[in-house]
Each structure stands twice: as C-alpha cells, then as structure tokens.
Amino acid sequence: MKRWEHYLWPAVTLVIFLGIWHTAVVWSGTHLFPKPAEVARGITELLHKGLLWKYMRDSLFRVAAGYLIAVACGIPLGLLLGWHPAAAAMVNPVIQILRPISPLAWIPLAIVWFGVGDLAAVFLIFLASVFPIVVSTVNGVTNLAPMYLNAGRNFGLKPSELLRRVIFPAALPQMLIGLRIALGISWLVVVAAEMIAVDSGLGYLIIDSRNAGKRYDLVIAGMLIIGVIGFGLDAAIRRLEQLKAVRWGFSA
C-alpha cells in the first residue's frame, strides 16, 4: 500500500460513515439523536466556552497520574515475583482474586476513602492498570529462555546487573503488551469514574449534558472526543513497539 493510501482510505471511510449517520437521522425523523453538523456545532460551543480543553486536561491528568503510579508499582513488583517463584506462589492467589473485580465496583469505597474528587478517580485508574502490568511483567520474566540467564552468569554478572542487562530487556516486549492493555482500560475507567466520582472531565461532560437539558449533541461530542483521544493514546504506546530494543521480541 502506498503512503498516500494510508490517509485516503480512512478519510473515505470517515466520509461514508458521516453520510450514513446523517441519512439515518433524517430518515428516522428523530429529534433526540443529533446530526453530524449539530455535533460539530456542539464541539465549537465547548471550545468557545473554554470547557473542552479543561475537561480533556482533567481526564488526561487523572489517567496519567493513576497509570504512572501503577507502572511505578507494577513493573518492580512483577520483576520481583517473576524472579522469585516462591514469592509469586504466595502472592498469586491474592492477585487472581482481586484482578477480575471491576474497578467500577470499587467506586463506593473510593468515594468513602478519598471523597468526590481527583484522588478517587486516580485510585480507580491505578486499580485498573496495576494488575495487567504485574501479570504481563511476571509472564515476561518467567518465559525468559534459561540460556540468557546462563550466559549472563557465565560472564560474571551480579544479580542486579543480570536483572538490568538481561531480564528486563528480555521481558520488555511482554511488558509493553501489558502496558498497552492497561492504558486502554485506564481510559475506559476514567470516563466511568467521572460520571460518578468527580465533577469535571469528559465523563462528567457526557452525564451532565444528558441530565441538564438533554443536550445529546454534547453527549455524542464527548463520546467522539473520548474515542479520538483513546485512539491517539493507543497509537502513541504502539510506537514504543517499533523501538529497536524491543522490536525483535514482537517479530519473534
């Protein structure tokens, strides 16, 4: 596929989608679901009021805070558990019990512990992110070929050097998969959390537009903006997979 085709065909698909959307609304005669032009006017209204950038900034801040805390905690913990199978056997039942619990189920407790505000949302995002990161890191370490460890030991590497120069680079491709999954889940969770636990952000924009005057043009606008930002975040983290240090892991 030529370079220009990478941009042409998505643009054509977008135009077709907008055309089908507009036609479906006109054909149905509904007065609730907005047309694409009405959604565009809603986005323009948010821009003029200065609300769009504020809500985007608040949502991205909460995701960044919770996600980075999860990375800072999850990767070292995953490396430790992967390096020490006995510790992993002890901790694994707790992880497997907590991991399937939806972060949204923690909303009542988050509000009790942290109140209605950023801390509650950050806590929920941390819970959503940390388990995929830990599990992927543990898998990356445990699936490491023994010959790499033996080679490192034969060269006289100390345990700390072995971890830094052998184990971490070898586990990085698997870790990136967990990081990507965690980021996607975090973006989903922040929208839901903002509908309940905070009074700003894109999730709050959707629920507030629905409750205050049934502004469905702003509801759809918020949904589209969430989708575009989510696409951008996923594309950004996928760029890491193209780094020379980890590309071999995905090609293999």
Residue 153 to residues 11, 126, 158, 167, 172, Cα–Cα distance (Å) = 54, 36, 8, 12, 20
Q: What is the reported pTM?
A: 0.86
Residues 6+ away with beta carbon under 8 Å from 216: 32, 33, 34, 209, 210
Instruction: Say how far residue 103 (Cα) sits from the centre of its chain.
Output: 13
Q: What is the mean pLDDT of residues 129-137?
A: 94
Nearest-angstrom CA–CA distance, 3 and 76: 40
Confidence of residue 56 (pLDDT cuts 50, 70, 90): very high
User: Is 58's pLDDT higher than 70?
Assistant: yes
Cα(first)–Cα(last) distance of the chain, in Å?
A: 24
User: Is 147's pLDDT higher than 80?
Assistant: no
User: Is 108's pLDDT higher than 60?
Assistant: yes
Running DSSP on this structure, what letter comes out for residue 164?
I
Nearest-angstrom CA–CA distance, 120 and 129: 14
List, for residues 217-251, the tens digit of each pLDDT value.
899 999 999 999 999 998 888 887 666 666 554 44
